[in-house]
């Protein structure tokens, strides 16, 4: 069969599948359609306003405004490029080596490299569409700020197509080589090792701003610091710099310069595609076969091999035994949850990326020292930090806690039949996720507050808020997870398709995320209100502020209690009535 | 049609299949038996080219599955125990897609599909999405799609899982009929009476080694008893502890 025919059949089929999915969403629930549409419009509207004001503010800076705006674009595309490479690697691994569809295709009378090419295209689309969706408001805001015509948006869209191919090819090549030549257990540890090394490198090489210098001329100093630290994004061999240059040139009306960089991207994208496809021929099939032929990893040194392939939770179970009044059933479920999480590649790879980003965030906090700024800035930064920590927690609970019940649902025959019932299973998931969330949030809050030199009383208040938010966000995630489970088609043929990322992408996952964001917005607004009123409104006196904040915290406690108990109560009622 | 020469597969430190030599003729119905973990699925994956052998080779329709994978796969169909199907397609759309992937003309696809839908009693479900079908019906859709291009070799893993007695009977009849018409069937199963009822020859794999091969009578002779196939199978696949205990 010709390559073109193979692609045409698969494109036709996938378009038909996409159309069916859209129809299914529309027919399934008006609530789902409304929530999703509101979320999309809300995101676009809010992002557009943020970028619009941001560009106008930066452009108004005397002397350096235009340069800072341009540098923001370079930074944005550099960040996008790195995220696209990671995204392609994660999706590419699942799509190339773990998908049942790939196994089926490899039994068809088509060469393995054709299957690889198709999967490369599929991965590239899956990994890139969200980034184009997310960056759309920024492009519109930039275009309007530059008074660019309608043609500008069309050209930028065209620019994105070859740009997404380069990270897709890099991601696929990395995955191909790693899968072909590294044992997955070695890869897992190598990834953690690289993550740790990257963090150490950031700690060493990312230098904090010198506060003394900045006190003299804060704005100029900060701008100078930003421009100096982001110089790497202008590196002429970075594909992201070509995109930025092309977009800037088109925005300014320099058609030829913009077209030149577009052609640079296009030619490199084609070259990357050719290299990827040429390398794929045998490596993909060898890698696939190797990936499905691996036994447990052995170094050949008995003592080390025992440790590496140790299947038992040698530390976990004894540690759990130390917790008083923890019965054996709950302990067994906790051990099972932790083991399954640890051994699921699709879970931990995304977990590593989450924590990598968190690590970078914490390291960068050193650049925003608290005490050299004025009070308005201090309030802004402290609450921005609380907001960032809670948003991260909300994303984590939606991604990792929400799918737990749906994953369990496919194994209801075992956990649903055990003597203590599904209600206990749900409560166990709530407590386990809450404890983990509290450890993460409180650690993050303490570290970030320490780095920002936030006063002790405010640090304690934020930590206490972190505890409340952990309970509430886990309550929302576990509750909504049980109320709107995503068991897939339920067919036995798809029993291996237990991908948590797919479960999250359904209505329940979107609803859970939106609800978490609404809760976070409410909590931050209430907690920030006293400080805001004192500093900006002049309604409160300085000595009244701590009491007002404690009062606000108590209101937040009540709201958090409601956010925790309401979804959990509804979910417990639901599982009590559930027919298995 | 299916030939393996010293086919061996090693996973890490574990040898899943050792020096497997098979020669299965055109139109032969071959049943592949073995206890859990014996290496049956690994053998199937080696025959279909999904896995690379550690040594030896497999020839399908005269083509080495590793050296000429496309030519070899043109003549085979593989139905795993849990076949992949597109949930958001209906059975006819799936058949059309599969037919196109095997370079069939649209009219031939539609004609063959009609026949297969009649045979497998799928007419009532042709316009339903696959995601709404029961496991047994999905299994029949997968089998119909596998037979669509009239393969020379059908490799099938546990075909009766989830099928009701009527559907199981239909599947058995179709496989036997196709086999008589010249299609080679390689069927892997745990259900001994299916092998006993359908197979021309039976191979028994234990711990990666082919420990017995032949007709039912030949297996009985090898086992040294006259009972049903089950007795022969249990005798041939005894563990060392069982042998020691019987002494």
Chain mean pLDDT for chain A? 80
Can you read off the two tokens belonging to residue A558? 């009540």
CB–CB contact B85 A493 (8 Å): yes
Q: What is the pLDDT of residue B181?
A: 94
B140 and chain A: CB distance < 8 Å anywhere?
Answer: no
Residues 6+ apart with CB under 8 A from B226: B220
Q: Is B78 on the interface with A (CB under 8 A)?
A: yes
pLDDT of the residue at A549? 81
Q: What is the mean pLDDT of residues B24-42?
A: 92
What sections of A345-455 are H helices per DSSP?
Answer: 345-364, 375-396, 403-409, 412-415, 421-452
Residue B86: helix, strand or coil by DSSP?
coil
| DSSP at A365 | G
DSSP alpha helices (H): ranges in A29-108? 30-59, 65-93, 100-105
* pLDDT above 60 (res B243): yes
Task: Give the three-state DSSP class for B11.
Answer: strand
Confidence of residue A562 (pLDDT cuts 50, 70, 90): very high
Residues 6+ apart with CB under 8 A from A7: A117, A118, A121
- At A509-534, the pLDDT tens digits run 878 888 898 899 899 889 888 877 77
Query: What is the DSSP code (8-state) at residue B168?
Result: H
- Give residue A99's pLDDT: 86
In the predicted model, is pLDDT for residue A434 greater than 90? yes
Mutation target for A interface from B54, B91, B131: give the one with most A CBs within 10 A.
B131
Least-confidence region, from A18-27, A299-308, B12-21: A299-308
A156 Cβ neighbours under 8 A, 6+ residues apart: A139, A143, A247, A250
Question: Residue range A40-53: average pLDDT?
Answer: 87
pLDDT at position A369: 55
Can you name the residues that pair with B184 across neighbouring β-strands?
B153
Mean pLDDT of all residues in B94-100? 93
Does B8 contact A at CB distance below 8 Å? no
Over residues B167-172, the mean pLDDT reads 90
How much is the average pLDDT of A480-494? 65
Q: What CA–CA distance (Å, rounded) separates B172 from A387?
A: 64
- Note the pLDDT of residue B247: 67
A66 or B18: which carries more pLDDT confidence? Answer: B18
Paired tokens of A362: 């914490």
d(CA A472, CA A488): 27
Q: Residue A423: what are its φ and ψ, rounded to 5°?
A: -60, -40
- Give the strand pairing for B201-206 and B76-79: unpaired
The answer to whether the CB atoms of B138 and A493 lie below 8 A apart is yes
pLDDT of residue A187: 67
Q: What are phi and psi of B3, to 5 degrees?
A: -135, 130
One DSSP character per residue, B170-205 reads HHHHHHHHHHHTT-EEEEE-S-HHHHHHH-SEEEEE
What's the distance, CA B110 to chain centroid? 25
* Residue A363 neighbours by CB under 8 Å, 6+ apart: A199, A202, A203, A206
Distance in angstroms (rounded) separating the CA atoms of residues A353 and A351 = 5
Q: How confident is the model at residue A578 (pLDDT cuts 50, 70, 90)?
A: confident
Whether the predicted pLDDT of A45 surpasses 70: yes
Q: What is the pLDDT of residues A298-329, one digit of tens each?
A: 555 555 454 444 445 567 777 878 887 777 77
Query: ipTM for the complex?
Result: 0.88
Q: How confident is the model at residue A345 (pLDDT cuts 50, 70, 90)?
A: low
The pLDDT of residue A495: 43
- Three-class SS of residue B31? strand
Phi/psi region, residue A421 (left: phi>0; alpha: psi -120 to 50; beta: rest), is left
Query: Do the Cβ atoms of A292 and B51 come within 8 Å?
Result: yes
pLDDT at A513: 86
pLDDT value at position A499? 62
As a residue count, chain B comes to 247
CB of B89 less than 8 A from some CB of A? yes
Query: What was the pLDDT predicted at A363?
Result: 67
Higher pLDDT, B214 or A191: B214
State the best of A12, A113, A291, A493 to mutate against chain B, taking most chain B CBs within 10 Å: A493
**Does the structure show a pLDDT above 70 at B57?**
yes
> Once rounded to an integer, what is the mean pLDDT over residues A65-76?
84
- Is the pLDDT assigned to residue B6 strictly greater than 90? yes
Reply yes or no on whether the pLDDT at A487 is more than 50. Answer: yes
Best interface-test mutation with B: which of A6, A109, A494 has the largest number of B CBs within 10 A? A109
């Amino acid at each position: 069969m010709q390559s073109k025919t193979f692609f045409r059949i698969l494109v036709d089929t996938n378009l038909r599948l996409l159309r069916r999915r859209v129809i299914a969403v529309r027919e399934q629930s008006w609530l789902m359609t409304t929530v999703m549409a509101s979320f999309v419009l809300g995101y676009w509207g809010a992002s557009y306003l943020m970028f619009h004001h941001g560009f106008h503010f930066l452009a108004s800076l005397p002397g350096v405004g235009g340069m800072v705006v341009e540098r923001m674009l370079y930074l944005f595309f550099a960040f996008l490029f790195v995220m696209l490479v990671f995204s392609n690697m994660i999706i590419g691994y699942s799509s190339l080596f773990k998908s049942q569809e790939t196994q089926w295709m490899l039994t068809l009378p088509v060469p393995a490299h054709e299957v690889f090419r198709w999967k490369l295209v599929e991965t590239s689309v899956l990994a890139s569409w969200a980034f184009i969706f997310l960056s759309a408001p920024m492009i519109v805001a930039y275009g309007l700020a530059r008074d660019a015509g309608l043609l500008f948006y069309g050209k930028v869209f065209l620019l994105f197509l070859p740009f997404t191919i380069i990270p897709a090819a890099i991601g696929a090549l990395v995955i191909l080589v790693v899968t072909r030549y590294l044992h997955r257990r070695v890869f897992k540890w190598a990834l953690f090792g690289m993550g740790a090394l990257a963090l150490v490198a950031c700690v060493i090489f990312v230098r904090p701003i010198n506060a003394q210098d900045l006190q003299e001329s804060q704005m100029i100093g900060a701008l100078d610091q930003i421009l100096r630290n982001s110089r790497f994004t202008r590196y002429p061999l970075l594909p992201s710099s070509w995109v930025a240059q092309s977009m800037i040139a088109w925005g300014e009306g320099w058609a030829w310069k913009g077209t030149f960089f577009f052609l640079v991207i296009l030619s490199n994208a084609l070259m990357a595609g050719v290299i990827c496809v040429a390398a794929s021929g045998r490596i993909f099939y060898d890698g696939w076969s190797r990936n499905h032929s691996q036994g447990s990893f052995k170094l050949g040194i008995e003592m080390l091999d025992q440790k590496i392939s140790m299947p038992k939770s040698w530390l976990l179970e004894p540690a759990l035994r130390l917790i008083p009044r923890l019965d054996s059933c709950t302990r067994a479920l906790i051990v099972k949850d932790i083991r399954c999480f640890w051994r699921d590649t699709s879970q931990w790879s995304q977990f590593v990326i989450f924590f990598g980003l968190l690590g970078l965030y914490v390291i960068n906090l050193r650049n925003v020292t608290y005490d050299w700024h004025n009070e308005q800035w201090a309030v802004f930064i402290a609450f921005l930090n609380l907001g960032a920590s809670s948003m991260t927690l909300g994303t984590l609970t939606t991604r990792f806690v929400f799918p737990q019940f749906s994953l369990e649902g496919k194994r209801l025959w075992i956990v649903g039949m055990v003597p203590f019932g599904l209600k206990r299973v749900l409560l166990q998931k709530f407590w386990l996720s809450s404890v983990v969330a509290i450890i993460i949030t409180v650690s993050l809050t303490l570290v970030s507050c320490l780095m920002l030199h936030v006063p002790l009383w405010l640090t304690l208040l934020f930590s206490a808020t972190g505890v409340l938010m952990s309970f509430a966000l886990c309550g929302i995630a576990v509750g909504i997870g049980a109320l709107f489970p995503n068991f897939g088609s339920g067919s036995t043929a798809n029993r291996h398709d237990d991908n948590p990322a797919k479960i999250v992408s359904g209505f329940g996952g979107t609803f859970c995320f939106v609800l978490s964001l609404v809760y976070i917005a409410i909590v931050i607004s209430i907690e920030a209100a006293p400080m805001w009123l004192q500093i900006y409104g002049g309604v409160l006196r300085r000595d009244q502020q701590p009491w007002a904040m404690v009062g606000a915290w108590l209101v937040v406690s009540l709201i958090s209690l409601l956010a925790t108990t309401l979804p959990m109560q509804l979910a417990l009622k639901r599982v009590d009535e559930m027919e298995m | 049609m299916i030939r393996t020469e010293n086919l061996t597969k090693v996973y890490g430190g574990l040898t899943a299949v050792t020096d497997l030599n098979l020669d299965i003729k055109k139109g032969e119905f071959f049943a592949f038996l073995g206890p859990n973990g014996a290496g049956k699925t690994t053998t199937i994956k080696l025959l279909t080219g999904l896995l690379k052998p550690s040594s030896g080779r497999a020839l399908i329709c005269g083509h080495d599955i590793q050296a000429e994978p496309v030519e070899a796969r043109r003549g085979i169909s593989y139905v795993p125990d849990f076949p992949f199907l597109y949930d958001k397609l209906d059975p006819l759309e799936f058949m059309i897609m599969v037919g196109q992937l095997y370079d069939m003309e649209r009219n031939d696809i539609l004609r063959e599909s009609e026949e297969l839908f009649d045979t497998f009693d799928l007419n009532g479900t042709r316009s339903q999405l696959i995601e709404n079908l029961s496991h047994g019906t999905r299994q029949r859709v997968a089998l119909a799609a596998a037979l669509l291009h009239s393969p020379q070799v059908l490799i099938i893993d546990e075909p009766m899982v989830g099928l009701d007695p009527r559907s199981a009977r239909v599947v058995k009849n179709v496989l036997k009929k196709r086999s008589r018409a010249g299609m080679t069937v390689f069927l892997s199963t745990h259900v001994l009476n299916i092998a006993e009822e359908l197979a021309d020859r039976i191979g028994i794999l234990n711990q990666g080694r082919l420990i017995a091969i032949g007709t039912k009578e030949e297996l009985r002779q090898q086992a040294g008893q006259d009972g049903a196939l089950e007795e022969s199978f249990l005798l041939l696949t005894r563990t060392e502890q069982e042998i020691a205990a019987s002494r």
